[in-house]
Structure 1
Amino acid sequence: MKRLSLRLSAAAVVLALTAAGAVVAAAPAWAAGTVTVTGPQGTASADAEYATDVTVSGSGFQSIPNGFGGVYVLFGWVDDPEGGSWRPSAGGVVGEDYRYVPDAESAENNGYQRFLAFPGSQTESAANGVLGADGSWSVTMVIPGAVFESHDRDGRVSEVDCRTVTCGIITIGAHGVKNANNETFTPVSFAGAAEAPSEAASAPAEGSAGAVRVGVESASVAAGTSIVFTGQGFTPGEQVVASLDGGLTAVGPLTSGAQGEVAAALPVPREIRDGTHLLTLRGAGSGAVAEAEVTVSGGSAAASVSDESTAPTWVLVLLLACIALATALVVTSIVTAVVRARSRRRARRAETATPVPEEAAIPVPERATAGVSS
């Protein structure tokens, strides 16, 4: 009877483990979300030459109530769409394994990238949307065209031509949080972009655009604010990227208007050194460059040794005066000591040369002898 009970218990354990395994097999691990891109034609496509507004929707994403971070929705390129080695959680590095169109990380940007906050997160006010409890979301975005410029970690600018590589919508964890569950890539096609034009064909005709130039609203700005600028002379419909100091901060690509004009605001980080900085506008198609200097104040970055200003003249004069006074005091002290020493030596010599007179003998009066009367 005891053996029968043990066998029944063992069988129950086996059945329980089998059932648990079946449940685990039936409930897959958290699957990466899926993304749908809908352009003007109702498909995941965009215009190769001009900016296109699209609707990007997601489902099945991991939604973390009150969680830090969220999801970035970007337009760009990945080097391994099928294998997934581009993913940040797999060691992918921006500028090497994936690139995207730069834009301001704020709710009021140009629409080239979006930020989705987790429900209840402290960053909801700065987000373009909030993930639903079921992991669903939807935002509108702007695809600038088939060619764009991006920056790597070192600020180097590279051009990406989506007519020769596969581009699309990228989703990754926001604010540096790597979350494989929310990393996806959804390809986007471009109408009439089956083949990139030759270099000769893509180059603008000589004289087709005038000299490019950039103007700023103010030549002096405070750290943490923005540089409001305008650009002129670019090729109409061309994509233009604006950057500060070659990539310290950037905005764009901006699509130039019918007269080759662009206008935007470039955010200035608080962690910047005070002094003169270079604003650069670069056309993606023409390669035209316009630059302007802007003076920034109130930055929190410490200036380097080479950047430190020289001391004012009055400080140097005061320092020299103090040195001269100290030197004079030392010399005076030495001279006074020498004079006193010489005086003491002369006094000792004089005392040695003068004889000391002998004391005169004091006569002692003889005592009178009194007479004895007989």
Structure 2
Amino acid sequence: MRRAAVLILLLAGLVVPVGMAGPAHAQGRVTVTGPDGGAVVDPTYATTLTVRGSGFQAVQGGHGGVYVFFGHVRDGWRPSQGGRTGEDYFYVPDSESRDNQGFQQFVAFPGSDTSSSAQATMTRTGAWSATLTVPGAVFEAFDRSGGSRTIDCREVTCGVITVGAHGVSNATNETFTPVTVSDLYDADDPTATGEPTPVAGAEVTEPATQERETSRGRRTRSAAAALEVDRESAVAGHVLPFSAVGLTAGRQYSLVLDDGVAGAGPFVAGSDGTLAGVLALPVDLGPGTHVLRLWAGEGTDAPEVSFAVQQAGTLPVERVAASGQESGQESGRDPGAVLLVVAGAPLLALALLRLALLVRGRRA
């Protein structure tokens, strides 16, 4: 009977911890460095931040990775705790394509099938580095329904946000690193900024290919007006993020789908001639090629883009399989551990039966 009891304890110690506990992971850590070496952004002009992460959970070959945003969070903002974008956390919108405006970055898992659309790749130890552009202290944040909210980082705390990419929440990879808003450039010195101080309501027009100086002598060349969308999100009934460059600063633009099937706006182009937002695609929008156009009146630049739309509910088989695989990895369940639990359960039952028979025999 003693041997049976010891066997039961060994099996219980083997089965229960494996089935109940998963691998432990430390919380990811983020450091932010601005032009002057500190975690500071300018309230008026675009600021380039160098963001470095360490201690993140790296899923080898996993689908997705980590999104890096600039924005504001509230209590309970984490997606793993039910936090929702546009309600609990807010960020500067941008296209999810690799050549976006730099307002958000995608860091792919090592060996991921999504690496081609990422701006950076995580190492096996969970380290990564990315460059994030902050357009200023005030931005428009959007929710999944297309609603917008103005966030003023001079009134609320803003910073760098990291969350699991492609809708897969991961508490280990959810972080918020606050930054300070302070004047980095002398607006009264044209040689320091290379551009006039913005004036509310003023319209600044620049040639499409004019080279101009920006903060701290950096130069940028304005491109011809162009519009781009996040093609992976082009599904009927879903929200479609878009971004545009080369627009007239301060001008209002309206977004029109096809011949007026859907629309949004007006949107105001920023001082650098860019804007970004989202458009809610109609649920009954037919599959195929559609045209999205920015419109600001006759005789103005009106960039457009053609893109394919999928029917609601359609998802490639490989994406479904990959998502299922990642979900299993993110939840901390090891397939080998699950198999061990299944195999150990019958042994535990047999041991219990043997103990019962021994006790009954001794009583007899």
Smaller-chain TM-score bracket = 0.5 to 0.7
Residue of structure 1 in register with 2:119 after alignment: 128
CA distance in 2 between counterparts of 1:122 and 1:141 reads 23
1:230 Cα offset (Å):
3.9
- Residue pair 1:163, 1:190 contacting (<8 A) in 2 also: yes
CA distance in 2 between counterparts of 1:188 and 1:154 reads 28
> What secondary structure is seen at the aligned counterpart in 1 of 2:163?
strand
Q: Of 150, 171, 175, which aligns to 1:184?
A: 175
- Residue pair 1:102, 1:253 contacting (<8 A) in 2 also: no
Change beyond 3 A, Cα 1:56–1:253: farther
CA distance in 2 between counterparts of 1:40 and 1:276 reads 37
Residue of structure 2 in register with 1:61 after alignment: 56
CA distance in 1 between counterparts of 2:172 and 2:228 reads 41
1:267 Cα offset (Å):
10
Letter in structure 1 aligned against 2:120: G
Are 1:231 and 2:226 matched, yes or no? no
Change beyond 3 A, Cα 1:243–1:156: farther
> What secondary structure is seen at the aligned counterpart in 1 of 2:172?
helix
1:232 Cα offset (Å):
2.3
> What secondary structure is seen at the aligned counterpart in 1 of 2:167?
coil
CA distance in 1 between counterparts of 2:140 and 2:229 reads 27
Residue of structure 2 in register with 1:150 after alignment: 141
- Residue pair 1:86, 1:93 contacting (<8 A) in 2 also: yes
Q: Show structure 1 runs of 5+ residues with no match.
A: 1-5, 19-26, 194-203, 235-239, 282-289, 303-374
* TM-score calculated relative to the size of structure 1: 0.54
Residue of structure 2 in register with 1:48 after alignment: 43
- Residue pair 1:274, 1:295 contacting (<8 A) in 2 also: no
- Residue pair 1:55, 1:138 contacting (<8 A) in 2 also: yes
- Residue pair 1:249, 1:266 contacting (<8 A) in 2 also: no
Structure 1 consecutive aligned stretches of length 4 or more whose deviation exceeds 3 Å: 210-213, 215-230, 240-250, 252-255, 263-281, 290-302
Letter in structure 2 aligned against 1:136: A
More contact order relative to length (CA 8 Å, sep ≥ 6): 2
CA distance in 2 between counterparts of 1:42 and 1:137 reads 19
Letter in structure 2 aligned against 1:66: G
Deviation digits for residues 151-175 of structure 1 (CA, Å, limit 9, x no counterpart)? 1111122210001111000000001
CA distance in 2 between counterparts of 1:222 and 1:42 reads 34
How big is the alpha-carbon RMSD for the aligned residues of Structure 1 and Structure 2?
Answer: 5.2
Residue of structure 1 in register with 2:202 after alignment: 209
Report the more deviating stretch, 165-174 or 43-52: 43-52
Provide the identity percentage: 44
- For the pair shown, which has the larger CA radius of gyration, 1 or 2? 1
- Residue pair 1:149, 1:253 contacting (<8 A) in 2 also: no
Change beyond 3 A, Cα 1:233–1:51: closer
> What secondary structure is seen at the aligned counterpart in 2 of 1:155?
coil
Q: Show structure 2 runs of 5+ residues with no match.
A: 14-21, 185-197, 209-222, 235-241, 312-364
Change beyond 3 A, Cα 1:175–1:249: farther
* TM-score calculated relative to the size of structure 2: 0.55
For these two proteins, the number of residue pairs brought into alignment is 263
Residue of structure 2 in register with 1:30 after alignment: 25
Are 1:103 and 2:98 matched, yes or no? no
Are 1:173 and 2:167 matched, yes or no? no
CA distance in 2 between counterparts of 1:133 and 1:220 reads 36
Deviation digits for residues 245-264 of structure 1 (CA, Å, limit 9, x no counterpart)? 599899x99642xxxx6158
